[in-house]
């Protein structure tokens, strides 16, 4: 009998201790791990009486030391409203408020005069200090309510990449991500702003599993990006200078790690302030680096050369006779200046950007093999970048039976690609021949305390490492000897690069404009163990013809900045 009593006491004691442990763990989760969440819920219940406080996950940039810097967060402040039925002197009330917080007089008097209404919102996003000034006036019919809203500390920094929130037809009374990362990661960033806390003890007895692990917000959290804020600000500055100097339609750029696809900066100008989008157009909000396609021009010659090297069709020493033009399928293909160079080798094809030279490579290897390589570069598909509305490349010409289509594709005309797809393909030259998945988010920090490192699939091997290294050597010679006559060569660092100038297609009358061009420039460094690939482009620059004139200087400025900022050791 005594033995049975002892067993029962031990069972009861064990159950009590187990329940106590559960309570301690749950209290720790609520009071420590989820303090901010429950504080927000409490404020919604007891502080704000007009509408639920807005809440949303944060977006972070990350510095080179992997420190988080806020890109998108929730700002706290106050909402100013009036009750017209309690205001006796509308003009006096306006003058008092306007003395500490500027208001539109006509709008205020109109709303304050509608005595059949008891509530009008007059102003939002007041700071703590502004709210204190208004409260000190002690005006009848004037109320302040706690409020929260989306705020972007960087203002215009990487604006097209970060995106913003707004109302949509299916978002009800709340806001959702409209562009950029805000839209792509909506399911992670969104919060249920109307949900209140469940009674603690009811939760214990209704769902034992959720006592220890609260799964309510298991899939919502914050995102940490690979965007480096100092690098992104520098790129934005160089893009703006180029845009202003040449009065282009659009100027964009990408800085990526070609070995793993991490993007340090990605943006286009004209841009806009994420906190004040007044005067901006829908085109300003879209991201042309992933949503628009362009005929990229001669930077594609670097890929054609790698195809020729990898297939064995050519070596750097292979020569051909350049007459300046060739006829294919009733069309004439010419070099940019129409001039012939006589017998030249493959290095000169890149140095002098000869259209006839890359057409020669295609002829040597055959259009079927050329098509196989270019399709392996996945020009006609999405890259998988974590931004919305990615467009497909227009590469139907690669299925044409005509020789001329393959010749023009070899120097970047007749096929149209997104900048991000172009960057993915060009990265194969820098990383040993593999496709990477360009991406912006590196980890998700969930509300339940777990952290998910985002994994991206390893791409296919398109070129051999040997072909990649040889192409890099040839592109390095372009910078050392040919680009601006070798005057931009860096003595202690190897840089592999190529310019591109493409005529813009006339979509109305067919053919190409004679005076409208897209300029592009890409390069990576150090050439044989690259940490950065930089891609720049500008659309319809005025009164200038070649990309070497518009983009060489900004590319070199970006290159020098990255070398110094990351303290890269010299490689030669």
The label of the residue with tokens 């203002």 reads 155
Distance of CA 512 to the CA centre of its chain: 31
Which residues are within 8 A (CB) of 269 and not within 5 positions of it... i.e. 6 or more apart? 236, 239, 240, 243, 250, 251, 252
pLDDT of residue 196: 39
Rounded to whole angstroms, the Cα distance separating 564 from 569 reads 9
Extract the tokens encoding 310: 């990898």
pLDDT of residue 213: 46
Could you give phi then psi for residue 307, rounded to 5 degrees? -60, -45
pLDDT of residue 441: 97
Rounded to whole angstroms, the Cα distance separating 431 from 255 reads 15
- Tens of pLDDT along the chain (572 residues)? 566 667 777 777 777 777 777 777 666 666 666 555 555 444 444 334 445 678 899 999 999 999 999 999 999 999 999 999 999 999 999 999 999 999 999 999 999 999 889 998 999 889 999 999 999 999 999 999 998 999 999 999 999 999 999 877 665 557 899 999 999 999 999 986 544 344 444 444 444 444 444 444 458 899 999 999 999 999 999 999 999 999 999 999 999 999 999 999 999 999 999 999 988 888 889 999 999 999 999 999 999 999 999 999 999 999 999 999 998 888 888 998 889 999 999 999 999 999 999 999 999 999 999 999 999 999 999 999 999 999 999 999 999 999 999 999 999 999 999 999 999 999 999 999 999 999 999 999 999 889 999 999 888 999 999 999 999 999 999 999 999 999 999 999 999 999 999 989 887 777 888 889 999 999 999 999 999 999 999 999 999 989 999 999 999 999 999 999 999 999 99
Q: What is the largest CA-CA distance in the chain?
A: 111
Extract the tokens encoding 497: 């690069």
Considering only CA atoms, give the Rg of the chain.
30
List the beta bridge partners of residue 445: 222, 451
Query: CA 264, 159, 503 angle in degrees (round to 5)?
Result: 80
- What Cα–Cα distance (Å) separates residue 24 from each residue in 19, 28, 94, 144? 9, 6, 53, 38
CB-CB neighbours of 276 under 10 Å: 11
pTM value?
0.85
Crossing angle between the packed helical segments 229-246 and 552-565, to the nearest 10 degrees: 160
Rounded to whole angstroms, the Cα distance separating 310 from 373 reads 10
pLDDT of residue 5: 65
Q: How does DSSP assign 364-420, residue by residue? A: HH-HHHHHHHHHHTTTTS----SSSSPPPPB-GGGG-S-HHHHHHHHTT-S-BB-HH
Rounded to whole angstroms, the Cα distance separating 501 from 520 reads 6
> pLDDT by residue (tens digit) across 257-292?
999 999 999 999 999 999 999 888 888 899 999 999
Sign of CA dihedral 465, 521, 547, 493: negative
Q: Are 534 and 255 in contact (CB under 8 A)?
A: yes
Crossing angle between the packed helical segments 355-365 and 367-376, to the nearest 10 degrees: 100
Instruction: Give the pairing type, strands 451-453 and 441-446.
Output: antiparallel
Distance of CA 301 to the CA centre of its chain: 26
pLDDT of residue 534: 98
pLDDT of residue 22: 74
- What Cα–Cα distance (Å) separates residue 324 from each residue in 335, 355, 437? 6, 9, 39
Query: CA 532, 534, 539 angle in degrees (round to 5)?
Result: 170
The label of the residue with tokens 């590469």 reads 395
CB-CB neighbours of 59 under 10 Å: 28
Q: Are 428 and 448 in contact (CB under 8 A)?
A: no
> pLDDT by residue (tens digit) across 358-374?
999 999 999 999 999 99
Rounded to whole angstroms, the Cα distance separating 307 from 313 reads 8
pLDDT of residue 512: 85
Rounded to whole angstroms, the Cα distance separating 120 from 46 reads 21
Could you give phi then psi for residue 41, rounded to 5 degrees? -65, -40
> Residue 376, exposed/middle/buried by CB under 10 A (0-12, 13-18, 19+)?
middle
Rounded to whole angstroms, the Cα distance separating 152 from 404 reads 49
Q: Are 189 and 177 in contact (CB under 8 A)?
A: yes
pLDDT of residue 208: 46
């Amino acid at each position: 009998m005594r033995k049975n009593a002892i067993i029962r006491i031990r069972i009861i004691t064990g159950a009590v201790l187990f329940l106590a442990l559960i309570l301690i763990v749950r209290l720790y989760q609520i009071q420590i791990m989820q303090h901010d969440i429950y504080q927000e819920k409490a404020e919604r219940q007891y502080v704000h009486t007009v509408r639920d406080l807005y809440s949303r996950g944060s977006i972070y940039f990350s510095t080179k030391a992997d420190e988080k810097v806020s890109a998108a967060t929730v700002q706290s402040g106050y909402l100013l409203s009036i009750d017209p039925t309690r205001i006796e002197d509308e003009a006096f009330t306006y003058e008092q408020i306007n003395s500490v917080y500027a208001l539109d007089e006509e709008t205020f008097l109109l709303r304050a005069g509608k005595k059949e209404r008891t509530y009008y919102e007059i102003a939002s996003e007041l700071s703590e200090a502004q709210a204190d000034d208004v409260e000190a006036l002690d005006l009848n019919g004037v109320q302040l309510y706690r409020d929260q809203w989306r705020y972007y500390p960087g203002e215009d920094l990487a604006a097209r990449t970060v995106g913003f929130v707004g109302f949509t037809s299916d978002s009800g009374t709340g806001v959702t991500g409209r562009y950029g990362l805000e839209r792509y990661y909506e399911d992670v960033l969104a919060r249920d702003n109307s949900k209140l806390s469940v009674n603690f003890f009811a939760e214990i007895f209704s769902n034992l599993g959720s006592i220890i692990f609260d799964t309510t917000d298991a899939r919502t959290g914050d995102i940490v990006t690979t965007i480096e804020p100092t690098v992104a600000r520098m790129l934005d500055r160089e893009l703006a200078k180029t845009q202003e100097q040449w009065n282009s339609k659009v100027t964009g750029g990408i800085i990526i790690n070609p070995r793993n696809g991490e993007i340090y900066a990605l943006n286009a100008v004209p841009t806009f302030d994420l906190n004040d989008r007044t005067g901006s157009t829908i085109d300003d909000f879209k991201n042309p680096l992933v949503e628009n396609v362009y005929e990229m021009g001669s930077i594609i010659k670097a890929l054609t050369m790698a195809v020729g090297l990898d297939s064995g069709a050519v070596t750097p020493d292979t020569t051909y006779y350049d007459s300046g033009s060739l006829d294919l399928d009733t069309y004439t293909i010419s070099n940019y200046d129409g001039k012939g160079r006589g017998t030249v080798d493959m290095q000169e094809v890149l140095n002098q950007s000869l259209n006839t030279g890359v057409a020669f490579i295609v002829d040597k290897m055959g259009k079927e093999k050329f098509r196989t390589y270019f399709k392996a570069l996945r020009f006609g598909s999405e890259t998988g970048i974590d931004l919305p509305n990615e467009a497909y490349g227009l590469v139907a010409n690669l299925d044409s039976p005509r020789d001329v289509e393959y010749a023009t594709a070899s120097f970047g005309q007749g096929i149209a690609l997104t900048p991000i797809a172009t960057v993915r393909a060009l990265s194969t030259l820098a990383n040993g021949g593999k496709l990477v998945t360009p991406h912006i988010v590196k980890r998700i920090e969930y509300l339940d305390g777990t952290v998910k490192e985002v994994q991206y699939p390893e791409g296919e091997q398109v070129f051999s490492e040997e072909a990649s290294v040889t192409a890099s050597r040839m592109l390095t010679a372009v910078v050392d000897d040919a680009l601006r006559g070798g005057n931009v060569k860096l003595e202690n660092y190897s840089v592999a690069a190529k310019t591109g100038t493409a005529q813009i297609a006339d979509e109305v009358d067919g053919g190409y404009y004679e005076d409208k061009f897209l300029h592009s420039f890409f390069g990576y460094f150090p050439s044989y163990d690259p940490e950065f690939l930089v891609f720049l482009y500008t659309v319809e620059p005025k009164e200038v013809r070649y990309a070497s004139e518009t983009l060489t200087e900004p590319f070199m400025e970006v290159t020098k900045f990255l070398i110094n900022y990351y303290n890269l050791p010299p490689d030669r």
